[in-house]
Structures are given as C-alpha cells and as structure tokens.
Structure 1
Amino acid sequence: MATATATTTTTEVSHVTTYTVKPARDTGGKRWHLGAPDLSMLSYHYIQKGLFFTKPPSPIDEVLDRLRAALSECLVHFFPLAGRLVYEEEEEYFYVDCNDEGAEVVHAKADVTAEDAMAPAPVGVTPILRDFFALNDKVGFDGMTLPLLAIQVTELVDGVFIGTSTNHALFDGTSYWMIVNALSELCRGAEKISRPPVSEQWFPYPVPIKLPFHPGLVDRFTPPPLKERVFHFSAASIAILKAKANATKDPDAPPFSSFQVLYAHLWRGVTRARKNPEGETVRCSLYVTYRQRVTPPMPANSIGNIIRSVYALTTAGELLSHNLAWAAGLLQKLISSQTDQESREGLAAQARNPHVTHLSSFGSTHLLMGSSPRFDMYGNDFGWGKPIQARVGHDNRYDGKAFALPAPEGGGSTEVELCLLPEYMDALEVDEEFLEAVTPS
C-alpha cells in the first residue's frame, strides 16, 4: 500500500516522488518497548548505509514498484519500523506504537556519476552522497512525528544508489542489514524471506523504563569540520598484521582475530596522529551484541538494539610504548569479558540509571568503531546484480568515529571510513607505520 507526495529539489539532487508504504497486512497494533540500549540512542542520528549499483535494465518505475511491494511485505515482519515513537507523559516512558502508519520510499535523481559521488569532499564541503539519503540530521526522538524507516532510490548518470535510513533507537546494525537483505530477496523474486526476524523482546530488567523527558535530552550535534577518508585493508594485509601480533602475544592468550588486530592498529595510528599527552587516558569503544552471549542464547535473527557499548582504556603513553599485540590484547580481553553475567549486570545497571548519549560528549581521546565487516552488504541483489560499492551516509559523525565495512572483493578485505579533525587526519595520512597495512582499493 503506498501514497505519493510532491517533488522537491536540493542543490544537486532532485526528489521526484515520496511514497508512504504500509504493511501488506494488519500487524495487530502491538507495543514495542524501548530498553536501556534503545534509550541511550534517542539522540543518535538515523543509521544510514547505502549501496551503489549499475543501471537496472528495467525502467526505474518498475524498480520502484517492486521495492514498494517488497517493503510492504517486509513491514509485516519488521512491524516496529511501520510505527511511531510515543512518549507516555503520565508514566514517563517511551515506546513504539506499532500502528502501521508506514515507512517511506523516496525517488530522486542526481546528475552525477557513481565515481564522482564517492570521491572525497574537501574539508568543510558536504559531499553530495549525503543527499542520497532521506531523514538527514534526524535523531531518534524525531521518530515521534517522522517515519522510523526511509529508503531513497537515487538515479545516477551511470547507475542507481539505494540508501536506507533507520531509527537507531529501534534497531542495531544486525537488524538493519536483516531488513535490507530481506528487501533484496523479495525484490529479486523470492516468495518469502530466508531469515525471518524474531520479534520477541528480551530484557533482564523490568520494562517500561521510566525516563523523565526534558529538552536537554535532545542533542542535535553539529560536528566541527572533519576530514573523512576510506582506508582499504586487503585480506592479505590484515593477515600480515595478524601474524605479526600473534607472533609477539602472551603465549597463554588465545590467538587474535583479524578484527581485534585491525582495530588495534587503527587505535594506535589515530593516537599517534592526535599526539595525545603520554599520561592522557584514551579509549577505544566497540558495540558488542549479546544475542549469543546470554544463557540461554537469543535467536540469531532477533531484532532490536541487542548491543552494548563497551570500551578499552589505557594511557596514550602505554598504548604507544607497547606493541600491536599489547593493544590487540586489550580489545581481546574486553570482548571475551562480555559473558552472560557481565551482559545481564551491565544491562540491568544501565536500566536502573537510563541515559541518552550525546554525540557532543565524544572528544579527541576517543575512537569508536561502528558497523562491521561481517554484515552482508554485497549479497544484496535487488534483481539486476549485486552492488558495486557500499557507503556510509552522513550519520553520527564526530572526531574519532570509524565505520568498518566489507570491501567489494570480499574474502576478509575491509574498508574503514574514518572521521577525524583535519590536522589529525593529515598526520595519519603520512604515518608510515599505519600506512604499511593500507592497500590500494
């Protein structure tokens, strides 16, 4: 079911039509609780990831028709995304009213090639890629009046870009890519999705969680001018880093994973570039899912924000005076400590003292790794071939935010999109130790 609204135009991207898409069937008007991780993300921007494709052989209207039909079916399964966020003033808590109000599909056009759209923008210049997404600059709180999911299909000179924006107060990255995977399956003719989501919510604490609302909870953070770059790490390059770290690790410790070593390499490089004082505390944060960490484990296809933000702490002097294996060991211990007990206790403590994280609270001692090279991005064939490139939108950016994505060639190769203050990025771009592992894309 879809309704259309009028045309609007930005500087280089024209919005042709916006459609409201509702679930194909009544989903029953359920209530979706917001847990402690959800509440913490109410001031986060919508998750924005997108995929570049070659031009489809079919007319764009047929592509849009298939996408809207697939989305309508998907919303039956991912029903919270068709609802709206509600604040219960009397009881002082947030929830999602799964009222089938619908999601959005936007048809847009841009007179630009895919290569030009992916080119790095000068510092202080907003890349055109930003306008390939709907709901720019919107935060979780805006889901009270705006759709919780919007998909923009932008026609390019030589291809198509499909950008998806999802309210981060509902879904984590795993859930986000589950709906994109499901959409692409249905668009290419599948009768049903192969990984139906599990929507039963699980909390190790009572819900709803009381969170008195006041205007100070909403943080519409605008970062200072940042320099953003995509660094490519081939599977072979990562294997060399991993072998180097494993050769010098504590003999009693288990082998490092590729991701632990890559993230440690990035953390050390960024810390060198920032020239943090030796005694200053520096932090590397990760999001860890607890789907399979609690006992009994949750179904792997569970949807929601089933993640915890965890971090490793040390001083800049300690991080840089030790080798790569030492830094990777900090991350390994952090991840291995996320047991059933630690997950339950951490979530319960967060629920007892709920908070809304503000992006303005992150400073130049912090590196946060977002997204994951494990997500299935390049398997998303919408009916005319797999994507040629995955890209991040303009969401949740600040000095020290990194997004790890699988590289197009697969096989464990990884691309890291990194945001830093210009002087820090300039230093990183000439850091020989860091660049040893970076490979041409």
Structure 2
Amino acid sequence: MVTVKETHVVKPAEETPSMIMYVSDIDQINPITHAPTIYFYRPCWDLPLVLIQLTKFSCGGVSLGLGLSHILADGQSALHFISEWVRIARGEGPEYPPFLDRTVLGYEQEDLLPADFDASDYKQPPLMIGSLNDIEERTKETDVLMLKLSKEQIEKLRSKANEENKRPGDLDRGFTRFQVVAGHMWRTACKARKHMETQETALKVMVNFRNKVKPSVPKFYFGNAILPVIASSTAGELVSMPLSYAAGKIKAATEKVMDGYVKGSAVFLKKQEDLSEWRYLHVVGSKEGTFYGNPNMSITSWMTLPNLQGGTDFGWGEEDHFGPGAVGYDGKSFILLDRSCSGSVVIALRLQVTHIQDFETFFYEDILN
C-alpha cells in the first residue's frame, strides 16, 4: 500500500521553448525506454523524459533513482545533467550550460553511403544453433551477478594479452583495460554456456565518438554521441585461442569508429524505414526489441564516464554507491570503476541462472592460469 503524503508541481524558471528540437537518427536507434541508475519501473508508452525517485530509509540513509530517456541523452550527457543539478541544489548555480543544437550531428543529410561502409554492425545477432528465433532464450530465468576485479588482476590480464600479441618492432600501445576485461568476459560466457564449437557469438559494445569525428562534437553536447559496434567469432575460436584473440576482436571493432564510419552510419540509418529493430528495452524478460542474450553479450563500459568532483553531493554528503538500477537481459553487463579501491572495477552482469556458477568459477580460475 502506498500513501501519498503530498504532491508538488515544479514550474520551469523560464517559459518552455516551443520550437521543435532536432533528433538525429543516431539518437533514434537508442532505447526508447529510460536508462536507469538505481530503480526502474516497467514502462508504458506515455512516459516523461525524466523519472526521479527519492527514498528515505528508517536508518536515515537516502537513495536517489533516476530514469532518463536514452533517446534524450547518453551516459556522458546524463552525468553532465546530474552535475549541474547537484550544483543548483547546493545553491551554487549551473556551471556549464548544455550544448543543445543536435543539428551538429546531422550527418545523415548526406545522401551518398560510402562504398566501403561495413553495415555488419547492424545485422541481427546470431541465434543458438538449431533455433529459429530467440524467444526461448529470452524467457529463461536470469539473475544479476556482481563481480570485482582488482587492479592487480586487471593488469595480469592485460599483460598476458599484450605479451601474446607482441610482435617484433611493434609500436602499438597494446590492449586497453576495457578490451581485455570485456574479452575475458566474452570467453568466460562461452565456457559457462557450454556452447558448441561452431556456435556463432557476437559481442556488442558502445563507442563514444565525441572526439573521433571532424570537427569534434562540441563540449557539453547533450544527446547521444555513441554508436554500437559488434565483435564476432565462434565459441570454439574464443575458447581455444588465447585472450589476445578476443581482445583483438574488440579492439578492431572499436577502433574503426572514426569520422568516416560515424557519418556512414548516419547515412545508413537515414535510409532505413524502421529504426526500432535496433532498440532494446530496459525491461527484464521483454519479448520486444533487439536481444543480445545467449549466445551473445552486450557490454557497456562506464569506466571512462566523467567523475563528478566531490561525488553527487546534493548537500547531504557524497554518495556511497553509484551504479545501474537495472541490468535488462541475459548477457547484458556494465563495467564500473570501483570507487572504494583505485584501479579496480565492478562488473554487473545478468545471466541465465543455470550459467551463473560456472561463469563465476571460470572467471577467476582463468586469471590464475
């Protein structure tokens, strides 16, 4: 039972602009639902752009849940919104106004799709061998697994992968932390799921292209400046080959996101009649939208999101925890910085219940070997 104690209408400080705001196709392929951080509720199709829930606990603690429409903003823009909100709440006033002109990403105005544009990132993900659709995998019981990797464990994975990939005279800077951790997760998932060697598997990651286009996206741009890329392999290759193989697949996929690729993606999306096939919903067990569950994965890195100076302090102190409020489907995961231990990360991963124990076992055993 819920008792409503009081309600408030928050009026804008200025008259709401009446002009139509431009929304690019790069915005449109993002989830139509909200991107949650603490709590999230099953959506209807008449949703406000922002949902906020403040919960006060009997112990005196407080939690703040924020749901922000993903078509409105990506993670970096969302944290910018929160940082300005925090400053206003503390009576300091906004510091960096958002850049709201989305026409700067109007790359799709160019009608000619580059001849060398690779549209493989927009194919539907592989199905389990012998399956005609993903309905069965969508409906299996899942749960969320929280794992930690220390700075030392990450460096061990990274050193191992870089040593495996080392070539005489190679000046490449090697694999990033994200590439080796994501590659390790992808290999581990194939083991835990006990895939056949010939099972095709795909890993989806999101790439921030703010500084990868010419000219760069304006600082404090408010919107989506991210694109999905896909790394593909067979389970047999991932498991039998060294970690550098998986990390190399991810490296190749992410590093192709440069000016030509971003603008080619925009033109490609403009030519599609329906963009909804690339959206997913932040709803566990949903039968709608794209699905990167078994035999696939989707890994989102929050490792490079801007840190708020002093945390998200509305005036009651810095928060003890910040993280996603929901992990939407089997195979979906987030990699977060562990704020309690410098250089470490926390992984939030949803998996089918039957795969969780094996995943956790292989995940740590393979670091030792």
Compute the TM-score of the two structures, normalised by the length of structure 1: 0.68
Kept in 2: contact 1:223–1:398 (CA 8 A): no
Q: Are 2:164 and 2:244, in contact at CA under 8 Å, matched by a contact in 1?
A: yes
8 Å Cα contact 2:85/2:94 also seen in 1: no
**Alignment-mate amino acid for residue 388 of structure 1:** D
1:373 to 303, 307, 315: 303
Deviation at 1:433? Answer: 4.5
Q: CA deviation at 1:187?
A: 1.9
Q: Contact 1:285–1:367 at 8 Å: present in 2 too? A: yes
Pick closer, same or farther for the CA change 1:18–1:392 going to 2, 3 Å. farther
1:358 CA drift (Å) = 5.0
Residue 18 to residue 311, structure 1, CA distance change in 2 (3 Å):
farther
1:180 and 2:100 aligned: no
Asked whether 1:259 is paired with 2:160, we answer no
> Aligned equivalents of 1:222 and 1:275: distance in 2?
18
Deviations 1:215-269 (A, max 9, x none): xxxxxx9854211111112223212221221122142343111111111111111
For these two proteins, the number of residue pairs brought into alignment is 323
Does the Cα contact within 8 Å between 2:178 and 2:301 map onto a contact in 1? no
Separation of aligned partners in 1, 2:191 and 2:62:
39
Please say if 1:247 is aligned against 2:160: no
Give the secondary-structure state (helix, strand or coil) at the position aligned to 1:431.
Answer: helix
> Map of 1:131-150 to 2, 5 A cutoff?
132-133=39-40, 136-138=41-43, 142=45, 145-150=46-51
Q: Pairwise mapping of residues 281-300 of structure 1 onto structure 2 (< 5 A)?
A: 281-300=200-219
Give the Å deviation of 1:383: 1.3
Which one has a larger percent strand, Structure 1 or Structure 2? 1
**Distance in 1 between residues matched to 2:145 and 2:87, nearest whole Å:** 31
The structure 2 residue matched to 1:272, chosen from 191, 198, 215, is 191
Paired letter, 2:67: S
Structure 2 stretches lacking a partner, 5+ long: 111-136, 281-286
Identity among equivalent positions (%) equals 27
Rounded to whole Å, the distance in 2 between the matches of 1:18 and 1:245 is 56
Which has the larger displacement, 18-27 or 380-389?
18-27
CA distance in structure 1 between the aligned counterparts of 2:188 and 2:4, rounded to whole angstroms:
41
- Post-superposition CA distance 1:84-117 (Å, at most 9, x none): xxxxxxxxxxxxxxxxxxxxxxxxxxxxxxxxxx
Question: Separation in 1 of the partners of 2:26 and 2:7?
Answer: 31
Tell me, in whole angstroms, the C-alpha distance in 2 between the residues paired with 1:270 and 1:434: 13
Any idea what SS the aligned residue of 2:21 has? strand
Distance 1:167 1:223 in 2: 25
Residues 125-274 of structure 1 correspond to what in structure 2 (within 5 A)?
A: 132-133=39-40, 136-138=41-43, 142=45, 145-158=46-59, 159-193=61-95, 195-201=96-102, 202-206=105-109, 224-251=140-167, 252=170, 253-274=172-193
Structure 1 residues 432, 230: CA separation in 2 closer, same or farther (over 3 Å shift)? closer
**2:329 matched residue in structure 1:** 398
* Deviation (angstroms), 1:338: 0.8
Higher relative contact order (CA 8 A, sep 6+): 2
Question: What is the aligned counterpart of 1:321 among 240, 254, 258?
Answer: 240
Asked if the contact 1:269–1:434 (Cα under 8 Å) also holds between the matched residues in 2, the reply is: no
Q: Determine if contact 2:22/2:101 at 8 Å carries over to the other structure.
A: no
How far does residue 348 in structure 1 lie from its aligned partner after superposition?
1.1
Deviation at 1:324, TM superposition (A): 1.0
Task: Specify every segment of 5 or more residues in structure 1 that has no aligned partner in the other structure, as ranges.
Answer: 1-7, 51-131, 208-220
TM-score by length of 2: 0.80
Aligned-residue Cα RMSD (Å) equals: 2.4
Q: Tell me if the contact between 1:175 and 1:302 (Cα under 8 Å) persists in the aligned partners.
A: yes
Using the alignment, how far apart are the partners of 1:381 and 1:271 within structure 2?
41
Q: d(CA) in 2 for partners of 1:332 and 1:184?
A: 36
Give the equivalent residue in structure 1 for 2:130: none
